[in-house]
Amino acid sequence: QFFVLCHGLLQLSQLLVSGYLKSSISTIERRYGLSSQTSGLLASFNEVGNTLLIVFISYFGSRVHRPRLIGCGAILVSLAGFLMSLPHFITGPYEYDRSVASTFSNTTDLCQPGAPSTQANLSDASCTPHASRENHEVLLVMFLAQALLGIGGVPIQPFGISYIDDFASERNSPLYLGILFSVTVIGPGVAFMLGSAMLRFYVDIDKVGAAKVQLTTKDPRWVGAWWLGFLVAASLVALSALPYFFFPREMPREVRASAHTQLTEVPLVLPGFPVVLLRNLRHPVYLLVVLAQVNISAMVAGLATFMGKFLERQFSLTASLANMIIGAVNIPGAMVGIVVGGAILKRFQMSLRQCSAMCVLGMLLCLLLAFPLLFLGCPTQRVAGVTHWHRYQPGWHGCNQQCRCPEKAFNPICGSDGVEYTSPCSAGCRNVSLGADNSVLNYTSCSCIPARGLPGSATPGTCSPGCSRLFLPFVVLSCLAGILASTSHTPSFMLILRSIQPEDKSFAVGIQFMLLRVLAWMPGPVLYGSAIDTTCVLWERRCDRRAACRYYDNTLFRQR
């Protein structure tokens, strides 16, 4: 029982490390200027290390000291977690364009007529050979950490499950495995809640005093302390790993059972390997169910990675709130669906045909509920010179020509005309009013903002899209759709387990997970990220490379 407790804790903290990345992905994109395609590849990169090794591990099943190997894997996972946060400590403080000169720079992004056009602006100044090298280092460290995370995670689940099943009494074994399964489902929810908590802190909380931070969490330039969660999660993994080095290689069984069934993974490297593989893949039920699972898993993998980003962009939420919604509503919804599906299955003792009917019904209802989601979301912000043009358009009749704005400046403001401008300079604003704590209250005498013939004014931050009423229906519908889709989780497994010859069972499950990894979990986030990138209307540029996306076409983003 102590082993089950330890294993539950270890699986939870391991899922914290891998799940936390997904919760902070939009923040990491903004901080290091990554496209969604790159961040999608990063998010799924741990599957690479995992898949390469899983075959060997299953092969060595019972010949090794399993608890000790689990402990070593956990140490690797913990190391990977600490590595993930390393970029924060090897790069300088986060820099962003601002209107008020600060300790970091004396530049401003206000309109300064007559200033030379070589005005040293932050975005330009930061482009040194060092900066571009720094970027490669960051990516290298993160991809390395993800690969380590995958490799370290390999022994944890299979060995833990087979160890428990070997030494637990037959009556208790299903209960223990059920406990572990529920932990693996709760884990991602906890990870998103952790993300929600950490992203409320400013990224450089350890480098600058809290008083010097002029951004609020709602500001589009805000970057939360993404690295903090990795430290927390990695420390938890390291703590959970310790007991494993003290468990014996073999335990006395709880109760002597009459028949001793062992659930060690069947070695995949058998002489009959190709024969069994072909026999399973030629089985129409097995093949179709696995293909169906591949499709839904690819969708889940893509959504898990980018759902937070989607909510942030569609409904102008903070990263923290978006994670809260996913961790507290969507993931628990999916858990409820899995449990309900299993309960129905047990209550009505379903036949194979009824199992497949239940899967089809769940999916059809899910589609019906998810269809309106295509239309629930905010229209794209009207951004001058990006998605919106009027006769005061910057550069057209020269309302901001004499300002000589740097192209790259990004400090969005909302004009009194309801149009957003990428920076005070592009709106031709010359004056700024400050609050007591040096925070910007508003911008005045903006020559590009029409206000009855006089220069208009603007407030800092993006314009609120004014469609927050759609947010609640979206959350409710997406949660219900998730519940319905996940009711088919257990029946689809039953279809596989019952349609295959008993001696091929563990082999068939191994192949199934292999196919899910290679065809769904790996490409899913990358495909989603690429699709999201195609809807970008304004890219940030860093050192002549395309960095993160500033504005998306919201309607296209939603539909794709």
3-state secondary structure 101-163: CCCCCCCCCCCCCCCCCCCCCHHHHCCCHHHHHHHHHHHHHHHHHHHHHHHHHCCHHHHHHHH
Residue 406 and residue 105: Cα distance in Å, rounded? 15
Ordered DSSP codes for 488-527: THHHHHHHHHHHS-GGGHHHHHHHHHHHHIIIIITHHHHH
What are residue 398's phi and psi, to 5 degrees?
Answer: 75, 30
Contact 426, 394 (CB under 8 A): yes
Say whether domain 273-379+465-559 belongs to CATH 1.20.1250.20. Answer: yes
Q: Quote the CA–CA distance of 265 and 462 in Å, as a whole number.
A: 54
Q: For residue 127, which phi and psi values (nearest 5 degrees)?
A: -95, 90
Closest CA to 449 of 219, 107, 111: 111
Which residues is 431 bridged to in the sheet? 444
pLDDT tens per residue, range 494-510:
888 788 777 777 777 77
Edge-to-edge strands of the sheet including 420-421? Answer: 420-421, 413-415, 454-460, 440-451, 429-434
Contacts of 284 (CB under 8 A, 6+ apart): none
Amino acid sitting at position 399: C
Please, is 368 exposed, middle or buried when counting C-beta atoms within 10 Å of its C-beta (0-12, 13-18, 19+)? Answer: exposed
Q: Which fold has domain 1-111+129-249?
A: Growth Hormone; Chain: A; (1.20.1250)
Low-confidence ranges of the chain (pLDDT < 70): 55-62, 100-107, 114-128, 210, 255-273, 390-398, 453
Stretch(es) of the chain classified as CATH 1.20.1250.20: 1-111+129-249, 273-379+465-559
- Is 151 within 8 Å of 50 (Cβ atoms)? yes
CA distance linking residue 459 with residue 416, whole number of Å:
8
The CB density around residue 438, as the number of other CB atoms within 10 Å, is: 11
Query: Tokens 């280092």 correspond to what residue?
Result: 137
Count Cβ neighbours within 10 Å for each residue of 212-225 and write b for 16 or more, e otherwise: eebbeeebbbbbbb
Region for 33 from its dihedrals, namely left if φ exceeds 0, alpha if ψ lies in -120 to 50, beta otherwise: left
The secondary structure element, H or E, covering residue 328 is none
- In tens, the pLDDT along 392-451 reads 555 555 677 778 777 778 888 998 888 888 888 888 888 888 877 777 888 888 888 877
Amino acid found at 447: S
